[in-house]
Chain A
Amino acid sequence: MNLSVRKIVISGILGAIVILLGVTRLGFIPVPTPAGHATIIHIPVILGGVLEGPVVGLITGAIFGLFSFLQPGAPFFADPLVSVFPRLFIGVVAYLVYFATKRINTVLACVLAGAIGSLTNTVLVLGMATWRGYLPAEVSISLGFLHGIPEMVVAAILTVILVKGIQRIRPAEEK
């Protein structure tokens, strides 16, 4: 398997944004729920999947997972099955959704990729947290609704804006 320079660099920079959003807490939007914040850190991962394909999505997701495991923002992330494993899928799912729907309309494809990529994160992380016994099932479900929905909306909007903005400055052969 070979990775092009482009894939290496883009995954690296998106990984840097993930870490940056994590350490500055900018990636957490305070919401009035017990957990206290909704996350938008997974957006660079979704972008990686949409803009550069599943491999970049996977690598960026792995950096996201690794980072949230080694510098956890919430206690149950101190378990690689909750922090690393679910994050591997975000970018890949976002890519698949984008790839399947971009024929219809690219804006719609971005919205769907952002929303479903975000949903993947919410469902898998809370699912794993419940399965590993960190959260009772009822709490997970209510957290899923309270956080999952705002996260999905924000992710969908940001994905569209960012993909459109970034595509404008990228070299022409990428389309």
Chain B
Amino acid sequence: MELTKNITLGVYLPGSTSIHRLDPRTKILAAAILIILLLFVRTYEPYLLFSLFLFAVVLLSRIPVGYALCGLKPMLPVLAIMWVFQLFLFKTEDTAVLFSWWIFEATEAGLHMGNLISLRVLFLFTTTTLLTLTTSVVSLTDGLESLLKPLAKVGLPTQELVMTLVIALRFVLILAEELEKIVKAQMARGVAFDRGNFLQKTKKLFPVFLPLFIGAFKRAEELIVAMEARSYTGGRGRTKMKTLRFGRVDLYSTLATLAFSALLVFTILRSGPLY
């Protein structure tokens, strides 16, 4: 069981391409705009444009395409099942029936709904993965903190919330390694994780979950002591060694993203929803 192999979220591939060197705020904002636009896409054409854009980003950042997509692998079976699910179960009033089997009917609307929703999943996934692959956790934090500053004025503990997110991202890989050790240790004791029915499989999870959580909480206690010993106070009045600077490349890429977004909005508006 290689658990850590397919984790691409929270992994940073260091590089010195223009995408890597962009101000994190530019990248976060661009990703946010694209994700929001994705929610309104109801036809196929915008996805074509979208994939061209993402492909350009991948090329510019010199990330191996296979690596960027390998996080998708564990997701595919579920995606396929849900696609079939949509195909048979989504119904509208006036739609052509493609074929029917027993009590199920595959409708044209269901087919489109399944396709579009699966595409949205794929693009959401790729967009966020590209962001974390090209941006280190440190600059992601700085960018988020600076973007959320207006909310801090209202009284939200933005620094603390960003810190929480950072801890979460940082600990995913650490806990994954721990999980792998636990799973291997239990397998060495003769637990066959892939055999048995639903109940047996569930039961086998208990000897994995308990050590995982206990280990995680032990780490948490250690981290709390370490942070308190260093007088962490949520970063009020904290200064930065590297201040973020919005450069010319950022201006160009923001303009490019905005132009692309405008194009996307135009295509979304022009083509009415398919269902």
Contacts and interface: CB of A to CB of B under 8 A. Distances in A.
Q: Taking chain B's interface residues, is the majority helix, strand, or loop, or is none over half, making it mixed?
A: helix
Contacts of B7: 23-24
Interface stretch (B43-51, B76-84, B257-265): B76-84
A12 B167 contact: yes
Contacts of A69: 124
A75 B171 contact: no
Main SS class of interface, A: helix
Contact of A134 (B10, B117, B160): B117
Nearest to B174: A16
Nearest to A76: B117
Given A20-B172, A161-B210, A169-B221, A8 B198 contact: no
B180 to A, nearest CB: 9
A13 B168 contact: yes
A110 to B, nearest CB: 14
Interface in B213-245: 213-214, 216-221, 223-224, 227-228, 232, 234
Contacts of B120: 75, 78
Interface string A1-31: 1110111111111111111100111101111
Q: Tell which of A2, A70, A157 has the most Cβ of chain B within 10 Å.
A: A70
A104 interface: no
A175 interface: no
A53 B144 CA distance: 26
A45 interface: no
B75 A73 contact: yes
Given A40-B205, A80-B39, A20 B179 contact: yes
A165 B207 CA distance: 12
Interface stretch (B16-24, B58-66, B85-93): B85-93
6 contacts: A16-B174, A19-B10, A24-B6, A25-B74, A69-B124, A75-B114
Interface of A: 1-3, 5-20, 23-26, 28-32, 34-37, 40, 43-44, 47, 59, 63, 69-80, 134-136, 139, 150, 154, 157-158, 161-162, 165-166, 169-171
